[in-house]
Structure 1
Amino acid sequence: MSTTPELHSGTDLRELVISLLAGDEDAATVNARATDMVYRAEIRTVAENLAHAAFIRGDRAALHTAHWVLGDIYDRCFSLPPIDQVDSLLTEILDDIRSVLENAMMADLRGKMDQSALASVPQDPETFLPWYRNFISSHNASNHPFYRDFLEDRASAEDIRFYLAQETSLDPRFDDILSFLTVGTNGSEKMELVSNLWDEMGNGNSADVHTAVFAKTLTDAGVSKEFIDSNIMLESLVCGNVSAALALSRRHCYKAFGYFGVTEYLTPRRFRSYIVGCKRLGMPKSAYIYHDQHIQIDARHGPSWFKNILLPSIAREPRCASEIVLGTVMRLETSTGYLDALQAKLELAR
């Protein structure tokens, strides 16, 4: 017999996840749930029904719920457990839910992407990089009008505030993502990732740690947690969840190399547009110091990521080139969807 009340919907599932993460029940109760295979099967069935509604039927409310549930679980993956949960089997329950929703999310993303470029990916380092740079530059995400047109020339201070709230789906955890990506690497790959991480850590100066600088930017701009929670867009949640899935699942490591490599590569040009917009509005430097730092740092890290991570990976295992490009396409496509939705929403509000 099940040890917990029955679950009937995705809403029930999210309420359960929130309750479990909040520690509303002690470890003994959670462990009883985790060892109750009937209940575990019930949870998976509810998660599968939610995934079907969200990713197969295209129910937007279900899609929101699925991404909120995934986001809640990913937040725990990037956090230290509360001391009263260290001996609980909570992760086993959450992993049942996560695996169902994550696999459905990734399958949906791949099904919607144009994967035609994968048939022509070079598998030798010498020809890969020129092809790869051209591939990125030809994509709409490489020079999206949200940055060059809207953010530089027309965005208001309130638009900037809304934009910063959306950026919280990735920026606050990028240092931890780099830590996860470092596991299992060697040689130039590990050195590049660690060098990147060291820059994220402010080169040892706690005041310059990028997450702290970004947090101050949010505070100075009046972007509170409450503001984020009430304004975060579905497309922002998607970007954050895909990022987390690629970083946390070792089977996606080569996709992650491509995904986060192109993220680094495009950052300088995007952040320049943000700074142009801030200066146009007469905003204080605290509004863009985080972005100014990344322009200088990522101008090095983007090309170095290609040279020291992607090329050695392909030299060692040529078949990973397609995986790297697949991850790159995932980033370009989710970024385009996010920026299209962001610009449309802000244009409509004008």
Structure 2
Amino acid sequence: MDTPYFKLNSTQYVLQDYYSSTLGDPVRFNVIPDSIDSLREIRRIEDEWMSFEENAIVNEILPSNPTEFKGWYTDKLLTLNENIKEFLVYLRNEASPSAIAFYVCMEELVDGSFDDVMALAQLGVNNRSKLTIAENYWDEMGNGSYDKIHTEMFTESSRYCRNLLDEVSLSLPTNIPTPCLMNGNLVTFWALRRKYIPRLFGAIGLIEGSAPVRFKAVTKGMERCGFPEEAIAYHREHIHIDAIHGKEWLNNILLPYAEQSERCCQEMARGVLIRFRVAEEYYRYIDKIVRENC
């Protein structure tokens, strides 16, 4: 069977280039694709991708109110971490320093601008949910301290990891693999296409709610392998902070919006399910490639 157009590596690169230029430094305003043909191609890829994902979950029973949503959503969080448990145990207890460094550097390739995604998530929100998104964004900004901005902390960690890989002559893939591109592209896609904001809410909830278990595994693995604190700090920080974000996102954003309408509730649920599928495929691939290369 031919690979769907949206799943071609070159096609996902088209999306990544568009998203990174759109959210790039304003000084590079002249490189943002804005021709009708360019935008038509982006929409073609995005629409085909969503059509595929929607068909994949068409038989799922979706929650229709806050009470149903809470239990359903909690189950998805637990299931995602259970499905990648073997990889997390490997990172925590078995992975070599180079394997952990390889994983961190692969994450950096597709980490994207999560702080910008969080900024876009605030647009149009006119209730108390906006305060939770704003607080989450301010945490991403290091609460006003430049060296504590999460992107800067992650850069510090990945810099050490890249140096470690150089020391053992281990290289990252020349091209970013498709599952990694899709994992990075999805939330930026939804942040920029305003009709998908409820899906973005669901996806961010899954990201924040499931993240502490992954960060704890990486932190413990780094400690076991003797990584310096400047390489560990970003990951250690997120064990605690994402646990808070995950709870606040559920209680202050997802559940209040689930009260708004059945349609909104189910659209957020679709965001959870699609993000679940993309993330699970990504972590399966990362598990495979880390073990093969390290």
Question: What's the TM-score, normalizing by structure 2?
Answer: 0.89
Shift of 1:92: 3.8
Q: CA deviation digits over 1:250-300, x for unaligned, max 9? A: 111111110111100011111000011111111112222101111111111
The residue aligned with 1:131 is: 72
For residues 58 and 232 of structure 2, what CA distance do their matches in structure 1 show? 36
Shift of 1:172: 4.2
2:103 equivalent to 1:163: yes
- In structure 2, stretches of 5+ residues that fail to align are 166-170
Q: How does 1:208-287 map to 2 (within 5 A)?
A: 208-222=148-162, 230=174, 232-287=176-231
Contact 2:209 2:245 in 1 (8 A): yes
Match of 2:17 among 72, 75, 88: 72
For residues 291 and 103 of structure 2, what CA distance do their matches in structure 1 show? 13
What amino acid does structure 2 have at the position aligned with 1:281?
C
Shift of 1:82: 4.0
2:55 equivalent to 1:55: no
Contact 1:169 1:239 in 2 (8 A): no
For residues 253 and 29 of structure 2, what CA distance do their matches in structure 1 show? 39
Contact 1:235 1:337 in 2 (8 A): yes
Alignment CA distance shift 1:116-1:53 (3 Å) = closer
For residues 159 and 64 of structure 1, what CA distance do their matches in structure 2 show? 24
Q: How does 1:81-160 map to 2 (within 5 A)?
A: 81-82=26-27, 85=30, 90-111=34-55, 113-117=56-60, 119=61, 121-137=62-78, 139-160=79-100
For residues 12 and 63 of structure 2, what CA distance do their matches in structure 1 show? 34
2:245 equivalent to 1:305: no
2:258 equivalent to 1:314: yes
Alignment CA distance shift 1:83-1:156 (3 Å) = closer
Contact 1:109 1:330 in 2 (8 A): yes
Aligned pairs, number: 288
For residues 240 and 95 of structure 1, what CA distance do their matches in structure 2 show? 20
What amino acid does structure 1 have at the position aligned with 2:13?
W
Contact 2:80 2:280 in 1 (8 A): yes
Shift of 1:105: 2.0
Secondary structure class of the residue paired with 1:192: helix
Alignment CA distance shift 1:229-1:215 (3 Å) = farther
For residues 239 and 146 of structure 1, what CA distance do their matches in structure 2 show? 20
Q: CA deviation digits over 1:203-240, x for unaligned, max 9? A: 1111111111111111122269xx66726322111111
What amino acid does structure 1 have at the position aligned with 2:217?
S
The residue aligned with 2:133 is: 193
What amino acid does structure 1 have at the position aligned with 2:183?
C
For residues 162 and 175 of structure 2, what CA distance do their matches in structure 1 show? 13
The residue aligned with 1:46 is: none
Shift of 1:302: 0.1
Shift of 1:159: 1.4
Q: CA deviation digits over 1:132-186, x for unaligned, max 9? A: 212432x244451344322112212221222112212553411000011110012
Alignment CA distance shift 1:297-1:321 (3 Å) = same
The residue aligned with 2:145 is: 205
Q: Name which structure has the greater RCO, CA cutoff 8 Å, separation 6+.
A: 2
For residues 89 and 283 of structure 1, what CA distance do their matches in structure 2 show? 41
Of residues 164-173 and 93-102 in structure 1, the stretch that sits farther from structure 2 once superposed is 164-173
Alignment CA distance shift 1:146-1:68 (3 Å) = farther
Which structure has the larger Rg? 1
- In structure 1, stretches of 5+ residues that fail to align are 1-51
Secondary structure class of the residue paired with 1:183: coil
The residue aligned with 1:22 is: none
2:240 equivalent to 1:296: yes
The residue aligned with 1:42 is: none
The residue aligned with 1:173 is: 113
